[in-house]
Amino acid sequence: MKRLTGTNEEIAQLLYQEQLELSKQNVDVEETVRAIVEDVKNRGDQALRDYSAKFDKVELDSLEVGQDLIDRAFDEVDKDVLAALENAKANIESYHKQQLETGFEDQPSEGVIRGQLIRPIERVGVYVPGGTAAYPSSVLMNVIPAKIAGVKEIIMITPPQEHFVPAILVAAKLAGVDKIYQVGGAQGIAALAYGTETLPKVDKITGPGNIFVATAKKQVFGIVGIDMIAGPSEIGVIADKSANAKYVAADLLSQAEHDVLARAILVTDSEELADAVEVEIEKQLKELPREAIARPSVENNGRIIIAKDADSMFELMNLVAPEHLEIAMDNAYDYLDRIENAGSIFLGHFTSEPIGDYYAGANHVLPTTATSRFSSALGVHDFIKRIQYTQYSKAAVNQAEKDITTLAYAEGLQAHAKAIEVRNDNN
Amino acid sequence: MKRLTGTNEEIAQLLYQEQLELSKQNVDVEETVRAIVEDVKNRGDQALRDYSAKFDKVELDSLEVGQDLIDRAFDEVDKDVLAALENAKANIESYHKQQLETGFEDQPSEGVIRGQLIRPIERVGVYVPGGTAAYPSSVLMNVIPAKIAGVKEIIMITPPQEHFVPAILVAAKLAGVDKIYQVGGAQGIAALAYGTETLPKVDKITGPGNIFVATAKKQVFGIVGIDMIAGPSEIGVIADKSANAKYVAADLLSQAEHDVLARAILVTDSEELADAVEVEIEKQLKELPREAIARPSVENNGRIIIAKDADSMFELMNLVAPEHLEIAMDNAYDYLDRIENAGSIFLGHFTSEPIGDYYAGANHVLPTTATSRFSSALGVHDFIKRIQYTQYSKAAVNQAEKDITTLAYAEGLQAHAKAIEVRNDNN
């Protein structure tokens, strides 16, 4: 891993520029995607079938994944995987239920009622990539918060497969997906955004995908809501001399194996630990089935920064605003109040980041590329709307008349003033 | 106003297509804006000064609006306006304080801690348009929720003026803006997103603006967070025979006067009321100083739908998902639970929509173009981040090992499994 030196601001700035570079989509598919989206909007199901024939090389009998295929997935799924998914589901549910919001109402003065309703988004679409990028854990992470929010209908789409990964269909049903359609790519996103004869139009689309999917999501944003567009995965580890180099190395590599563009950053105030972690990384890399991905990731994008003390480590990491943040220190919990920017935090020597990817319950859909400065993990809040309401009695509006009309006239909006004055008996 | 007939689905679909048409930005300024953003990113303050000379025709001494100008604004501001702003501020504060969230923490099993921190976004930029579109009420609505969220620094930018509208600077200071810079347009948005020698880089930008501002916000999204990009304003009124035609007409016109593209929709189960509202609109239009705006708005975009009963009125309006929704019915409050989609609701015959624009306390920055199906009014939630955290003890991670590694192996991510196994003494 490359070692960086400088002030925290300089290092953070450099890391950010590098991160933007890693996130850059070098392929321009805007026009291709725009044509596909337009075609699906106009030709509906037939366009979906045509793209399936063209891109997926299959002639689809049915766009919907039928109950027979779902039953077969439950028959075929490995029993340990099923049990693990059920346990993960329980943890994800119990974590996310704590995010449920309730509305409020107050009566600040005589004749005035104000409040806020919480309503679930009505219909949500979840995109699940096909092939080797099909992660049942992502199905749980996208669907369960929507379900807890009270979304009435959850539609999953995924590219057609010769044989669906059983755990994907099983995770979908466990999590509460209502219908599954075998439609992938930009055409799938367009179908969710505009609806077709078979697929219902949704209100919001979440879930990861390749550049065609991500570009289509950006293009339909506004017609529907979307979740974030994720960049390559990142982990930042803050470790002092109490850390175990073997553990830290293993955790850094668990991010690195995702993608050659993934990034692992170690910030430590111990030169010794930094050296030991590098030795461990090399040792563990050699035993790793995905060495071909993890090695270029750590060699090109891995970074080590030696900080002068704990204060400096936390200052730097807040500037970096990593997606995943591990604090590999004794009493890590006590440092929680130092954290200003991060997607998800893993505390202490034993909370390896993959615990969060699969199991503990917090969401693994997280803000990348320093966007944790202003955004958050996917959660129940992403599947609700807050609707304001206000009620004024006649006496209350008459009493507020002077203030309201003064502001309306000051802004040159006389019809606004008039709408208040008309409620006064003198008018 | 044009009358529409058909099924609720047909009417809603037609209204939505029309609304998309009204929202369409017919000018393509993408490239112009991209060049300005790039220039500000590269040349900082000097670029800002050059654009001010070019677009605003002023040579700026100071980019910052100094304390002398702010003091002068407090001297000059109309005393009634100041009092009204102070009262509005108190109402906006007391409403939005109810949106404050707290974190949570649980210990679902031995050795496991999970939680969520709430952290304010550190630095926010608020754009305030210049000239006749300078609305002090919008300053309050954008700044107060950020302040309540705990944002550490709030930067306001606004185009340079010969003489700033005193109420704008006064509203900024009342609401808690820390610094004001006289920079407008796309160059101002770029300065907030990237920072210059004088302007600090912010984490999120909110506030309305013209097409240059809106396009610049879209372009810098991802580098910083942004609020919504608003379309033309809309009001939907549900009224039955208990409604007062004079009031309903005044409220429809209060939206119509905003913009020739603004839209007013009346849904009623009373033909009589519909007729009476049309007569009143014509009568009131003639007396309206902004008739030249309001008349084409109601004539081109105004719509009346006669529904067969209350159920049908609410069904249609939920499909329309209007920005502002008035329920002009006796016992309007009892119908709250019927509402699924709306930005802000105004209940009963006396709650004229301008009460919400200026005064009652709920936010007036609202989702337009049916985006209330998946998004909400600006609020405290837009200025915070939710940061997840998890802590597992050694015993807890060892106990969860089988489930986690089963899922990791099923997804082909062996380094993920390894990071868990390495914490087991047997490895």
Per-residue pLDDT of chain B (427 residues; tens, 9 = 90+): 999 999 999 998 899 888 888 888 767 899 999 999 999 999 999 999 999 999 999 998 899 999 999 999 999 999 999 999 999 999 999 999 999 999 999 999 999 999 999 999 999 999 999 877 679 999 999 999 999 999 999 999 999 998 999 999 999 999 999 999 999 999 999 999 999 999 999 999 999 999 999 999 999 999 999 998 888 999 999 999 999 999 999 999 999 999 999 999 999 999 999 999 999 999 999 999 999 999 999 999 999 999 999 999 999 999 999 999 999 999 999 999 999 999 999 999 999 999 999 999 999 999 999 999 999 999 999 999 999 999 999 999 999 999 999 999 999 999 999 999 999 988 7
Any binding-site annotation on B13? no
Which of A226, A253, A275 delimits the end of a domain? A226
B346, β-bridge pairs: A390, B326
Using a CB-CB cut-off of 8 Å, the residues of chain B touching A132 are 412
The span from the CA of B295 to the CA of B281, in Å, is 9
Q: How far is B407 from chain A (nearest CA, A)?
A: 6
A78 has a pLDDT exceeding 90: yes
Using a CB-CB cut-off of 8 Å, the residues of chain A touching B402 are 80, 84
Residue pair B133/A385 in contact (Cβ under 8 Å)? The answer is no
Q: How far is B191 from chain A (nearest CA, A)?
A: 17
Q: Is residue A197 part of a domain?
A: yes
Using a CB-CB cut-off of 8 Å, the residues of chain A touching B353 are 419
Q: How far is A399 from chain B (nearest CA, A)?
A: 11
Helix (H) or strand (E) holding B71, with range, is helix B67-76
Which of B95, B352, B374 is nearest residue A385 as measured by Cβ atoms? B374
pLDDT of residue B343: 98
Please report the residues numbered 136 through 165 in chain B whose beta carbons come closer than 8 angstroms to any beta carbon of chain A: 136-137
Note whether A134 and A282 are same-domain residues.
Answer: no
CB contact under 8 A, A85 and B407: yes
Q: Which of A163, A173, A180, A177 is nearest to A65 (CA)?
A: A180
Q: At what angle do helices B136-149 and B79-96 cross, to 10 degrees?
A: 40
Using a CB-CB cut-off of 8 Å, the residues of chain A touching B332 are 391
The span from the CA of B365 to the CA of B105, in Å, is 32
pLDDT of residue A207: 95
Note whether B66 and B118 are same-domain residues.
Answer: yes
Using a CB-CB cut-off of 8 Å, the residues of chain B touching A205 are none
For the residues of A93-115, what is the DSSP string, one character each? HHHHGGG----EEE--STTEEEE
Note whether A102 and A18 are same-domain residues.
Answer: no
The span from the CA of A348 to the CA of B390, in Å, is 9
The span from the CA of A290 to the CA of A259, in Å, is 10
Query: Which region among A113-122, A228-237, A309-318, A377-386 has the lowest average model confidence (pLDDT)?
Result: A228-237
Note whether A206 and A75 are same-domain residues.
Answer: yes
Split into its structural domains, chain B has a count of 3
Note whether B214 and B256 are same-domain residues.
Answer: no
Note whether B163 and B180 are same-domain residues.
Answer: yes
Which of B336, B403, B413 is nearest residue A84 as measured by Cβ atoms? B403
pLDDT of residue A131: 75
Any binding-site annotation on B364? no
Residue B409 domain boundaries: 393-421
| Mean pLDDT taken over chain A | 95
Per-residue pLDDT of A161-196, as tens digits, reads: 989 999 999 999 999 999 999 999 999 999 999 999
pLDDT of residue B23: 83
Rg (chain A; Cα; Å): 25
CB contact under 8 A, B356 and A222: no
Q: Is residue A388 part of a domain?
A: no
Which of A352, A362, A389 is nearest residue B420 as measured by Cβ atoms? A352
Note whether A305 and A284 are same-domain residues.
Answer: yes
* pLDDT cut 70: percent of chain A above it: 100
Which of B135, B372, B400 is nearest residue A411 as measured by Cβ atoms? B135
CB contact under 8 A, B403 and A106: no
Tell me the H-state helices in B77-135. 79-96
Q: Is residue B24 part of a domain?
A: no
Note whether A317 and A296 are same-domain residues.
Answer: yes
Any binding-site annotation on A357? yes
Note whether B50 and B156 are same-domain residues.
Answer: yes
A79 interfacial to chain B (CB closer than 8 Å): no
Name the residue in chain A with its Cα closest to that of B249: A419
pLDDT of residue B21: 86
Which of B177, B210, B226 delimits the end of a domain? B226
pLDDT of residue A427: 72
CB contact under 8 A, A359 and B98: no
Of the residues B324, B326, B353, B364, only one is catalytic, namely B324
Which of A371, A391, A418 is nearest residue B348 as measured by Cβ atoms? A391
Q: Which of B142, B138, B135, B91 is nearest to B380 (CA)?
A: B142
Using a CB-CB cut-off of 8 Å, the residues of chain B touching A30 are none
Residue pair B157/B48 in contact (Cβ under 8 Å)? The answer is no
pLDDT of residue B131: 75
Any binding-site annotation on A349? no
Domain harbouring A280, CATH code: 3.40.50.1980
Any binding-site annotation on B324? yes
CB contact under 8 A, A374 and B104: no
Note whether A221 and A259 are same-domain residues.
Answer: no
Q: Which of A284, A255, A270 is nearest to A352 (CA)?
A: A255
Q: How confident is the model at residue A154 (pLDDT cuts 50, 70, 90)?
A: very high
Q: How confident is the model at residue A74 (pLDDT cuts 50, 70, 90)?
A: very high
* pLDDT cut 90: percent of chain A above it: 90
CB contact under 8 A, B225 and A342: no
Q: Is residue A379 part of a domain?
A: no
Rounded to 10 degrees, what is the CA torsion of A183, A187, A190, A191? -40
Q: Is residue A219 part of a domain?
A: yes
A53 interfacial to chain B (CB closer than 8 Å): no
Q: Is residue B188 part of a domain?
A: yes
Per-residue pLDDT of A17-52, as tens digits, reads: 888 888 887 678 999 999 999 999 999 999 999 999
B417 interfacial to chain A (CB closer than 8 Å): yes
B400 interfacial to chain A (CB closer than 8 Å): yes
CB contact under 8 A, A132 and B412: yes
Q: Is residue A268 part of a domain?
A: yes
Active site residue B278: no
Note whether A295 and A194 are same-domain residues.
Answer: no
Q: How far is A222 from chain B (nearest CA, A)?
A: 7
Of the residues B257, B323, B326, B353, only one is catalytic, namely B323
Any binding-site annotation on A312? no
Which are the catalytic amino acids of A? Answer: 323-324
CB contact under 8 A, A404 and B95: no
Tell me the H-state helices in B201-270. 211-220, 245-256
Q: Is residue B142 part of a domain?
A: yes
Using a CB-CB cut-off of 8 Å, the residues of chain B touching A285 are none
Note whether B124 and B177 are same-domain residues.
Answer: yes
Q: At what angle do helices A185-194 and A211-220 cross, to 10 degrees?
A: 20
| Average pLDDT for A289-308 | 95
Any binding-site annotation on B301? no
Please report the residues numbered 339 through 398 in chain B whose beta carbons come closer than 8 angstroms to any beta carbon of chain A: 339-363, 369, 371-377, 379, 381, 385-394, 396-397
Residue pair B179/B155 in contact (Cβ under 8 Å)? The answer is yes
Which of A226, A241, A265 delimits the end of a domain? A226
The span from the CA of B288 to the CA of B6, in Å, is 33
Helix (H) or strand (E) holding A384, with range, is strand A384-392
Active site residue B364: no
